[in-house]
A and B are shown apart, each in its own frame.
Chain A
């Protein structure tokens, strides 16, 4: 289910394009803000949690997920080069699972790692805040990568739709409508983090742990399966 050649091509495509700059810019911004906050207001667990939850987990992780998830396949479909993968006796689900693995790895590297570093800068992992949000980032990276990889497979407007989902649904809608929070990758990952890091009152979720885990698994597996199916019937017509 994993093809090293597909993985190599995907890594190079993801990290070689201009939009990869955002992959570096956002984590850098997080670190800079963390350093500034620490310098100005000292160690404060609540502030650390607000910044990691409000910026790192709610904004940075989904945006990185959009770039890595859609970028792992969207541009190839757009410019037609995916044909060189598809004209091979390689199973379509293998291509998707490989690309998903790459997208997850890239999302984790560019979101969870900086989140941990930022957490250490902010309050030195006081009350397990850094570890909790790092776990939340790792968990949500998996689901985001799968969702946005599917989006990249089925639509040319994946980046826009992905950003709308990440910013409007997860960030804005979620804070206004309670029900929306139940269907939020961010909340699911917080539920896992709350349990795993024993985060106390600082890291909490609106969703119970069993529901969160089930939803994470169902969404990730479902999106991956469906992307594999869509790739099997991907239509690559000429430009006529």
Chain B
């Protein structure tokens, strides 16, 4: 059982502050590090993994600093986001080399390759791999020494749904075994499916921490705006406004559409199609107008 402690850590590059006074503890189990692109997730993971010195504050693994301390890698595995990985080797050669650098042998490498289900392509050159395959071989290289802490930077990028499920299952198992697994993502659904505990980082700051249900509620309870076009906008508006899930409707004559503000996201999304069908109104456009992740996060920060 290992715990990563991030204590009042800031990191700046020149005048740009990438991580701003973050304090958090990553305990055994699966933790999701959620935040939009450029929020400082990778910088934070680099510091956790000992590849970047905090400008102030400290990062430690079970009390030992991670910076300038190669001993920690006996207990820590890292799956980077970057793609550079000795493309001229085969998958097997790559994982064997990683095992040897840990003082382990071919057996450990083979076990890791089996864990990520890459045995079928292990003798192909890495340069011929798809992004998902590369991701799994990286994963195998981080697992050879069965670390108690595993850090993954955007591990689901470029994976197809099946590979994604597989990796989630693997990380879940590792979390259940008592390992400390931390992965970063900018996609809420990924984090929600996998992590019971979430740390949210926005613009270098620690925006929220805790149970995913609480954070999900914070995220979904905010007012949602939709742009709706239908065969009879005014009739639709009249029925919708009668329901408590809708807080306001504007008839935008210029656009020829309704601008709807929904307060109860879940209820509204099931209500709209039902009402339209019951009243014989045909829906032409339903588009969320502020669903960008940035707006979700900025709402969260303000909350």
Contacts and interface: CB of A to CB of B under 8 A. Distances in A.
A240 B141 CA distance: 24
Contact of B101 (A5, A78, A234, A239): A5
A19 interface: no
Contacts of B81: 238-239
Contacts, number: 101
Interface string B39-79: 01111011001011100000000000000101101101110
Contact of B53 (A78, A80, A233): A233
Residue of A6, A86, A91 most packed against chain B (CB within 10 A) = A86
A13 B88 contact: yes
Contact of A9 (B84, B97, B141): B97
B82 interface: yes
Interface residues of A, number: 34
Interface residues of B, number: 41
A235 interface: yes
Contacts of A90: 70, 101
Contacts of A81: 84-86
A12 B100 contact: no
B89 interface: yes
Contacts of B73: 87-89
Interface string A57-93: 0000000000000000000101111011111111110
Contacts of B94: 84
A239 B74 contact: no
B124 interface: no
Nearest to B101: A88
Contact of A235 (B52, B88, B97): B52
A127 to B, nearest CB: 44
B131 interface: no
Nearest to A17: B88
Given A9-B86, A235-B52, A87 B77 contact: yes
Given A5-B100, A84-B98, A239 B82 contact: yes
Given A88-B70, A91-B70, A239-B82, 13 more contacts: A12-B86, A84-B94, A87-B78, A87-B142, A88-B102, A90-B70, A90-B101, A235-B52, A236-B51, A237-B43, A237-B51, A238-B43, A240-B38
Name the 3 nearest CB pairs between A and B, nearest first. A238-B42, A79-B84, A80-B82
23 contacts: A3-B101, A5-B97, A9-B89, A13-B86, A79-B82, A79-B84, A83-B82, A86-B51, A87-B49, A87-B73, A87-B76, A87-B142, A88-B70, A91-B70, A232-B68, A234-B51, A237-B42, A237-B51, A238-B42, A238-B43, A238-B153, A239-B82, A240-B40
